[in-house]
Amino acid sequence: MNIHDLQTRQTIIRLLSSMGSAKEVSQYLKRFSQLDAARFAVVKVGGAVLRDDLPALVSSLAFLQDVGLTPIVVHGAGPQLDAELAAAGIDKRTVDGLRVTSAEALAVVRRVFHAQNLALVEALQAEDARATSIVTGVFEAGYVDQATLGLVGNVQRVQLAPIHAALKAGSIPVIASLGETAGGQILNVNADFAANALVRELQPYKIVFLTGTGGLLDGEGTVIDSINLTTEYDGLMAQPWIDGGMRLKLEQVKQLLDGLPPSSSVSITRPVELAKELFTHKGSGTLVRRGERVLQAEAWDQLDLPRLRTLVESAFGRRLAADYFERTRLHRAYVSEHYRTAIILTREDAGIYLDKFAVLDEAQGEGLGRAVWQVMRERTPRLFWRSRRGNPVNPFYFAECDGCLKQPRWKVFWYGFEALADIAACVEHCEHRPATLEERALENLP
């Protein structure tokens, strides 16, 4: 790495650190840089983003390359095709969401895809990013239904050689969603299907869908920050505000992640927010993961206590009291199946107390902690807890509580309590509760 590249990388790391903590940025950079180039990320770009948000898209993709990461880009061109076909006097017809493509329409399709592909590549090159135009040779396709849809294909095989050649040269592959039969006939391939086929072949760590909405929206039009499919999928699909488009997108994402390693995830965000989504725990759009089941226990002997101790100590960076499990009256514990997140509730005279909420560093940013919290909250109508001043989780606690009282050392939170006497009892308990974590950090202990 030359001096200029090193300075650029340092500048970018400082910029990323303004979005999140330096620890978060370093954690993600280390994780991504250890991946094979082809396994970092596949980014699917819709035609509307190319039309409406090209500068932000180019800036974000060039940003990734500057920090030493090379995404693989697959793009569509739906709005551009609509306009060009209309200008050519060709009526738009769709069957099951797929565009009917005659030989006459295919000529327009090819022209539009080539133009959009080159526009993105040239815009990247104008920003001093290395990019390679790939409009054919990746997706070997067969006819979906030639009699009904005409020259429309589904991907049967993915040829990776053009992609690997671009990556080897340190260049961003920019791939148009055009396929061809074994005999050389060009076919129109839905961009989402093309991206999904590429993802199944490459099994990347990140799959990113760039959209104008910036994520999946809930019933109030607010972006859903994360979705743990294992615990939330059925509930989401039952919501009355899930429309046809979002339902289809969720189904596609679930099918995609079911065939990928558990570490893979799908991010749905805006181009301008891409770096924030990739490099910070909070993110910016919707992060979807297959997730983990949430185990529940009402007795310590139902849990793997050495694993639970390791989880708590790793999350807090301090030793758990040696007799913690013997002296703590467990009400219920909620633990992710791979022991990466745990919530421990205890029975106290004042009520049910949140004693530990532990999330491993490697699981932060996945939405796993929130998923376990939601399972706990659905089963716990009243709860109180305390948190140190300055705890980075406090903003989440403020959003979840009904009230908070600040003490000199602690903030006391609660929900579900209404009587002042009950709240006073919670505060009194928190004020005098003995510590269960040793004060010294793990690295300072023998």
CB 426 within 8 A of CB 412: yes
Which residues face 256 on adjacent strands?
Answer: none
* pLDDT at residue 4 in the model: 45
Conformational region of residue 92, where left means phi above 0, alpha means psi within -120 to 50, and beta covers everything else: beta
- Return the top range by mean pLDDT from 55-64, 366-375, 424-433: 424-433
Q: What is the mean pLDDT of the chain?
A: 87
- Asked whether residue 21 carries a pLDDT value surpassing 60, the answer given is no
Tokens of 58: 């180019």
CA distance 1 to 434: 52
Give me the torsion for CA of 67, 68, 69, 73, rounded to 10°.
90
The confidence band for 18, taking pLDDT boundaries of 50, 70 and 90, is very low
pTM for this prediction: 0.72
Which tens digit of pLDDT belongs to each residue from 62-106? 888 887 788 999 999 999 999 999 999 998 888 877 889 999 999
DSSP string, 314-379: HHHTEEEPTTHHHH--EEEEEEETTSSEEEEEEEETTEEEEEEEEE-GGGTTTTHHHHHHHHHHHT
Select from 152, 83, 149 the least CA-distant residue to 112. 83
Tokens of 235: 């509930």
- Asked whether residue 389 carries a pLDDT value surpassing 50, the answer given is yes
CA distance 21 to 23: 5
For residue 218, the SS3 value is coil
Query: Strand 186-189 vs strand 152-158: parallel, antiparallel, or unpaired?
Result: parallel
Which residues face 379 on adjacent strands?
Answer: none
The confidence band for 299, taking pLDDT boundaries of 50, 70 and 90, is very high
Helix crossing, 244-258 with 229-237: angle to 10°?
Answer: 160
CA distance 415 to 16: 35
Of the two residues 113 and 281, the one the predictor is more confident about is 113
Which tens digit of pLDDT belongs to each residue from 180-233? 999 999 999 998 889 989 999 998 888 899 888 888 888 888 888 888 888 888
Select from 217, 205, 157, 189 the least CA-distant residue to 74. 189
Single-letter code of the amino acid located at 92: K
* pLDDT at residue 23 in the model: 61
- Asked whether residue 445 carries a pLDDT value surpassing 50, the answer given is no
- Return the top range by mean pLDDT from 11-15, 77-81, 280-284: 77-81
- What value does the mean pLDDT take over residues 93-120? 92
